[in-house]
Structure 1
């Protein structure tokens, strides 16, 4: 589970997002990061029980994103993220980017997600083609009552304002084809984050996302 001390550190970091405070509390950061790495190791093993495309031998340290922000092109010059992010990629046959799972730990803004966020051009084209050819399979996944209960309405994420090239306005699946990302996510409360059953809860959510990830990865093979 995630320790209360980890959330406390992140809360205080959000209020004191500067190098002097961070360096004075570097030991707390290191302890919090180690807590998240230990959690990531458990998650990787647990998800791997039901998703054969997860490398259960992956180094959890490499799955936990750095807390340092890239401020070169951002108007926000605060140097540190207010969260710990865990990205768990699925192995793709050709080694390219594909669908994945993501867990964010942030006071008041923790969540579990999966799918493919903002696919690169050739992958987006392939996913749209798969939707056009095989939309019912995707609908069966994202319209299932349990999926909607857990993750809300899949179609209600960022879309193109106009129809994508090569697809007509009267295409019965045009709203799915206009999606820019293909993501399912669910928020976690702070109380849920520090409970002992967090690993089981996150793994269960990822198991429900697995059919979506499989559909997306199959589209870009």
Structure 2
């Protein structure tokens, strides 16, 4: 009887994918030996203890997203960001990132800067984020115009208990004054000055070693999902052409 009960208790424990001590040993060493020779020599460890584990974590998160954010489901290989850095326009020429990361944008808004979910795992800790990080000028304008009539709704979302309990207060890198073309005396004036619409939750690196790691990430994603949904209403109106124009990729005039 006791053996049967113990077996049932073990079956009830949810064991989720997570990272290992070798994962963090690799990333810590990579911070000091960020060169192709060292990476290639240790690539089998990267494939097994970092890439494979990250893909398993993403797959498990996808299962959770299906219950509260199905529009953000993404194949694990596409959700996982490359560890290789783009050094073309950077003074830092080290070839590799020293963390693992994945993102889940809204389906159909990948090319226009839609809001989404983000996970980063590194030796200095875990970052779970959601929203729109440093959106471009067309995206910011769309959000600001939407806030003129929907600022009360956003304030309620930001004040919700799961958000205040699990995420840091919105920083937003606000402007000192109202953006051009928007009223300085509007009730949403403080929100109109915000330039970055991402909420962040930080966890210690050890959190990624536990069987409940995916539970912790999914809990934070679910708490922040209403913000993502709110932002994607105005962001869905931005076109790929507007985004490219704001980045200087095409010589066109964008309607403001």
Q: With the length of structure 1 as denominator, give the TM-score of the two structures.
A: 0.92
Match of 2:56 among 30, 38, 54: 38
Which of structure 1's runs of 4+ aligned residues deviate more than 3 A?
92-97
- Tell me, yes or no, if the aligned pair for 1:114 and 1:209 is still in contact at 8 Å: yes
Q: CA deviation at 1:82?
A: 0.3
- Which of 44, 62, 67 is 2:83 aligned to? 67
Q: Shift of residue 165 of structure 1?
A: 1.6
CA distance in 2, matches of 1:8, 1:106: 10
Q: Which residue of 1 aligns with 2:208?
A: 193
The aligned length equals 218
Bigger Cα Rg: 2
Q: Which residue of 1 aligns with 2:96?
A: 80
Taking the aligned partners of 1:186 and 1:118, their CA distance within structure 2 comes to 17
Partner of 1:27: 44
| TM-score, with length taken from structure 2 | 0.80
Q: CA deviation at 1:216?
A: 0.4
Gaps of 5+ in 2: 1-17, 237-256
Range with greater deviation from structure 2 (23-32 or 85-94): 85-94
From 175, 178, 192, the equivalent of 2:190 is 175
Equivalent position to 2:162, from 120, 143, 146: 146
CA-to-partner distance for each residue in 1:82-101, whole Å, 9 max, x for gaps?
00111111224797431110
Shift of 1:12: 1.0
Hey, what's the Cα distance between the residues in 1 that align with 2:89 and 2:221?
33
